[in-house]
């Protein structure tokens, strides 16, 4: 009988193993398989996340963005921002984000990426086996393998998280310019094909952008500040065959305050701030625990020295100190040889040296100050200085310096000339201090530790304890309040606001010594009183407009 059009045709048997012959999976099996897939996916995400943490990124540098509130980080309590509000410029990424992203090319000898991870703090020292035996386990999470030049990133990160940051420039008291000038110029200092134009290009472009901003044009830049992560001499080039860029000498920079790890003491726009060390406490309790540890430490060495001789330099003073250490004997002095990158890569050896020493010898480095000064003090050792400009004329916001008598509370000053000719020895000189005097000096050094370190917490140490960032920011607010008072009392400058330097007291340029960065020429001392310096800071607001270099005169001074 023929099949009707509506009847179902007979289906051929399915081959073995076909889906119709497979038993339908149970609901429990489906759920189990979904759970396994989900767990595998989450595990993969965790692995990727951990791998990303090993590399620097700009995740900690979010753009200010736009929101309904004028508070970038949420509303604050009334009175919490009495000093004022901070506006952070959202610069084109070429001036900060892209420099971090290009970290492999910032340094000619090795990748700089590990040192820019964790917001510029570097890799945790907990990952370095040798370091675990140097500091207590409770303090180990506060230590990082921090390079000496990432300050621009550290400060930028902290300001972005500051409770008094605003997204409305019309409400701001101060303006922060997050240009990573140090990272930029550092990438052009040793390149075989790098030119003067390469070193100056980013600074020129930045100032062209900045001087077109309404907030900058209103003040000429006197309420603006930035961070320079390298020494000021790397940004003061007076001739095309000299070292560094000429960024701070460019028209437009004359009124901008600069937080810099080593300043020109005759330029009132430079403010010396501490070098970053490896100690980045999370909270005030971490600082107090570390202070107790370094005070109770049994120090077996009278003094220590970290450095390397520079055989290309005539009468190298570091070589003198190495001889002094050798003459004192192993029982009194220990040294760490810092040739090459040893002290960069082996921070455990440096930290142990200073923890074991009562005093640490601090000569000038390639310039007047070395990061070692701050490594020494964070470890609770008393610095022995040979140039006043190493610390006394540099860090007035952070150290009780500049006042005769106060300097002897936390440091020792030796006549380097007498030492060089053999009229005195370091061993005999330091043995002249009583144990009680040494203890008092060490206590004073340890007391200052919070002001010399940068907290790893984006919100600071808390509990009323100010770290170096908060001391610097407070100083900036006070400086700008004085300027505002000066303007209100004396009136604004005539004519359009063009930011130039007016005191004309910039120093002679540093000379280049190749790989060792800059060496400052010997200079005739020029005394500048605090009162005169303050007058200069105020009087620059009434500057004569000029489109020439910010400094037309080169003076000479010594330390």
Strand locations in 386-503, DSSP E? 412-413
Per-residue model confidence (pLDDT) at position 74: 79
Q: Taking CA 364 as the corner, what is the angle to CA 337 and CA 453, rounded to the nearest 5 degrees?
A: 85
Tabulate helix, strand, coil % of the chain (nearest 5).
Answer: 40, 10, 50
How far is the C-alpha of 400 from the C-alpha of 372, rounded, in Å?
Answer: 19
**pLDDT less than 50: residues of the chain:** 1-22, 48-49, 51-60, 62-68, 494-559
What is the secondary structure of 86-117 as a DSSP string? EEE----GGGTHHHHHTGGGSSSSS--HHHHT
Count Cβ atoms within 10 A of the Cβ of residue 214 and give its class: 0-12 exposed, 13-18 middle, 19 or more buried.
exposed
C-beta pairs of 27-30 under 8 Å, 24+ apart in sequence: none
pLDDT (0 to 100) of residue 464: 95
What is the reported pLDDT for 41? 66
Candidates 118, 210, 186; CA nearest to 157 is: 118
Adjacent-strand bridge partners of 555: 507
Of 454, 494, 540, 520, the residue nearest 278 (C-alpha): 454
**Distance between CA 93 and CA 99 in Å, rounded?**
8
SS3 of 184-197: HHHCCCCCCCCCHH
* CB contact at 8 A, 362 and 414: no
Q: What is the DSSP letter of 242?
A: S
**Kind plus residue range of the DSSP H or E element containing 288:** helix 284-296
**What pTM was computed for the model?**
0.79
d(CA 288, CA 286): 6
Supply the pLDDT for residue 550: 38
Per-residue pLDDT, 495: 43
User: What residues pair up with 384 in beta bridges, in sequence order?
Assistant: 361, 412
Q: What is the pLDDT of residues 482-498, one digit of tens each?
A: 988 877 777 655 444 43
**Separation between Cα atoms, residue 234 and residue 245, nearest integer Å:** 6
Residue 29 has a pLDDT of 65
118-148 pLDDT, tens digit each:
999 999 999 888 888 899 999 999 999 999 9
Backbone dihedral region for residue 340 (phi beyond 0: left; psi -120 to 50: alpha; all else: beta): left
Taking the alpha carbons of 456, 461, 462, 467 in that order, is the dihedral positive or negative? negative
Chain centre to alpha carbon of residue 304: 25
Q: What single DSSP character describes residue 104?
A: G
């Amino acid at each position: 009988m023929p099949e009707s059009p509506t009847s179902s045709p007979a289906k051929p048997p399915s081959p073995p193993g076909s889906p119709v012959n497979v038993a339908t999976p149970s609901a429990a099996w489906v759920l189990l398989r979904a759970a396994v897939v989900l767990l595998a996916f989450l595990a993969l995400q965790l692995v990727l996340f951990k791998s990303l943490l090993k590399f620097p990124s700009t995740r900690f540098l979010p753009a200010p963005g736009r929101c309904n509130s004028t508070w970038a980080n949420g509303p604050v309590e009334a009175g919490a921002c009495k000093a004022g509000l901070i506006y952070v410029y959202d610069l084109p990424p070429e001036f900060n984000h892209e420099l971090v992203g290009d970290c492999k090319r910032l340094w000619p000898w090795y990748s700089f990426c590990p040192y820019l991870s964790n917001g510029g703090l570097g890799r945790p020292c907990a990952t370095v086996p040798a370091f675990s035996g140097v500091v207590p386990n409770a303090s180990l999470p506060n230590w990082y393998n921090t390079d000496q030049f990432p300050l621009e990133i550290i400060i930028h990160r902290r300001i972005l998280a500051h409770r008094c940051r605003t997204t409305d420039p019309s409400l701001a008291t101060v303006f922060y310019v997050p240009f990573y000038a140090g990272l930029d110029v550092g990438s052009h200092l040793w390149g075989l094909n790098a030119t003067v134009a390469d070193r100056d290009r980013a600074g020129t472009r930045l100032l062209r952008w900045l001087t077109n901003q309404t907030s900058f044009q209103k003040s000429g830049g006197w309420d603006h500040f930035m961070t320079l992560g390298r020494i000021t001499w790397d940004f003061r080039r007076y001739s095309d065959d000299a070292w560094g860029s000429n960024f701070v000498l460019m028209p437009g920079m004359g009124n901008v305050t600069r937080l810099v790890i080593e300043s020109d003491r005759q330029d009132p726009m430079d403010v010396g701030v501490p070098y970053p060390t490896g100690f980045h406490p999370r909270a005030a309790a971490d600082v107090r625990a570390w202070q107790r540890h370094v005070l109770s430490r049994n120090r077996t060495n009278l003094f220590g020295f970290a450095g390397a001789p520079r055989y290309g330099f005539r009468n190298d003073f570091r070589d003198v100190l190495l001889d002094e250490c050798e003459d004192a004997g192993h029982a009194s002095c220990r040294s760490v040889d810092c040739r090459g990158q040893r002290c960069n890569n082996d921070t455990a050896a440096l930290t142990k040296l200073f923890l074991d020493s009562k005093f640490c010898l601090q000569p000038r480095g390639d310039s007047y100050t070395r990061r070692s000064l701050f490594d020494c003090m964070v470890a609770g050792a008393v610095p022995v200085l040979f140039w006043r400009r190493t610390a006394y004329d540099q860090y007035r916001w952070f150290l009780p310096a500049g006042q005769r008598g106060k300097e002897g509370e936390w440091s020792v000053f030796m006549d380097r000339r007498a030492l060089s000719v053999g009229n005195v020895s370091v061993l005999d000189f330091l043995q002249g201090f009583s144990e009680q005097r040494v203890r008092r000096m060490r206590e004073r050094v340890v007391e200052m530790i919070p002001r010399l370190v940068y907290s790893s917490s984006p919100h600071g140490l808390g509990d009323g304890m100010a770290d170096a960032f908060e001391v610097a920011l407070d100083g900036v607010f006070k400086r700008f309040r004085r300027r505002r008072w000066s303007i209100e009392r004396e009136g604004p400058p005539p004519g359009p606001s063009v930011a130039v330097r007016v005191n004309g007291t910039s120093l002679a340029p540093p000379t280049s010594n190749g790989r060792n960065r800059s060496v400052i020429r010997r200079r005739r001392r020029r005394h500048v009183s605090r009162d005169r310096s303050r007058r200069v800071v105020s009087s620059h607001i009434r500057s004569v407009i000029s489109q020439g270099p910010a400094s037309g005169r080169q003076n000479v001074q010594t330390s």
